[in-house]
Amino acid sequence: GEDGYGNLDPKRKRRAIPGLEKYHKTDTFLSEAITLEAKEAITQSMKKDKPFFLYMSHYAVHSPFQTDRRFEENYKDSTRSRPSKSFATLIEGIDKSLGDLMDHVTDKGVAENTLILFVGDNGSDAPLGDNYGYYSSAPLRGKKGTCYEGGLRVPFIASWAQRGDQNKFPIARNHLHTKQIGTVMDIYSTILDASGAKNPQEHVIDGVSLRKQLSGKVNQNRLDHFMCHFPHSHRSSYFTSYRRGNWKLIYRYLTEGGKRKSKNPLPQHELYNLKNDPYETKNMALENRPKVNEMIELMNSQLKDEDALFLVRDDKFLKPALLK
């Protein structure tokens, strides 16, 4: 808070955080400031006897990695790099924030009726020693911004703030669900299901409630496919990845890597069996062309159904092409 979360530093003004003026020029770290504001928002909802939905999006663990001094002492003897130690303090800050919020809803008497969904927004980008760089999501391949599982898979934990009779439905305890995928698109449907709220008639729903999976069961009505369409420039520039069952296809629109030129051309098609090769070490595209082309047709069908945007080169749309 000393520099007003960027507001008091002209060089950082463009990315400054608004609405926290009362913490400016204090030693209140950002994670703590937004936690205090979140607690107050819950309190105000309770005073009005209204249910609340709290979307808590932390800035911590995103670069630049600043040290949360509340926990700095815990790592004074560590031989890790300075960014790694700063990152560790940020993790502790998020952990404390969640604990403080859980304590708050408990104190307000609504813990049994409060569903907590803890989720990452993208693959890891953590500065963790030997894993720093392309394998910071080890053992998965890739990291934030890539087309591989290390860039697409994220942590997801669901729990009632407190177990009890007021829980709307059971959530399996100490259960790791590995038999089906879930996506961020399912969160909206899950919240509707848990709260009993109705979806506006004109609003299209892309996801499916995770309620059955949270209970530890398999949802037989759930589709087994997932598509990530990214026709933009970043680490894995201009790609679409499509998963169906155990198979995953990656299609690159620019094999030279777009703005980030590659020394060697990248394969336009990559095919992996995630059951047998979860770390995506063996590209099976050339040895299984029928599967590649089957997946390309399914990919194109979904892209068409969803009116997807495409990269344009020489006044032409670039769309996934069959492997010849």
Give per-residue pLDDT as tens, 30-39.
999 999 999 9
Q: What range defines the domain where residue 321 resides?
A: 224-324
Largest CA distance in the chain: 65
Averaged over 114-141, what is the pLDDT? 76
Q: What is the model's pTM?
A: 0.88
- What is the structure's pLDDT at 259? 54
Q: Is the pLDDT reported for residue 262 higher than 70?
A: no
How many domains would you assign to the chain?
A: 1
Residue 135 lies in a domain: no
- What is the structure's pLDDT at 40? 98
Asked whether the beta carbons of 124 and 144 are under 8 A apart, the reply is yes
Residue 312 lies in a domain: yes
Averaged over 261-280, what is the pLDDT? 88
CATH number at 320 reads 3.30.1120.10
Please list the alpha-helical segments (H only) found in 205-270: 211-214
Q: Is the pLDDT reported for residue 51 higher than 90?
A: yes
Q: How far apart are CA 92 and CA 70, in angstroms?
A: 9
Contacts of 235 (CB under 8 A, 6+ apart): 142, 143, 144, 145, 146, 151, 260
Asked whether the beta carbons of 124 and 117 are under 8 A apart, the reply is no
Q: How far apart are CA 324 and CA 220, in angstroms?
A: 36
Q: Which two tokens stand for residue 103?
A: 């304590």
Residue 181 lies in a domain: no
Asked whether the beta carbons of 90 and 65 are under 8 A apart, the reply is yes
**Residue among 144, 120, 122 nearest 132 (CA):** 144
Q: Which two tokens stand for residue 181?
A: 């995928």
**Residue among 161, 153, 163, 170 nearest 213 (CA):** 170
- Mean pLDDT is lowest, of 51-55, 129-133, 229-233, for 129-133
What number of helices (H) and strands (E) belong to the chain? 6, 8
Residue 251 lies in a domain: yes
Averaged over 110-137, what is the pLDDT? 78
Averaged over 6-33, what is the pLDDT? 90
Residue 245 lies in a domain: yes
Residue 206 lies in a domain: no
- What is the structure's pLDDT at 128? 63
Residue 231 lies in a domain: yes
Residue 188 lies in a domain: no
Averaged over 121-143, what is the pLDDT? 71
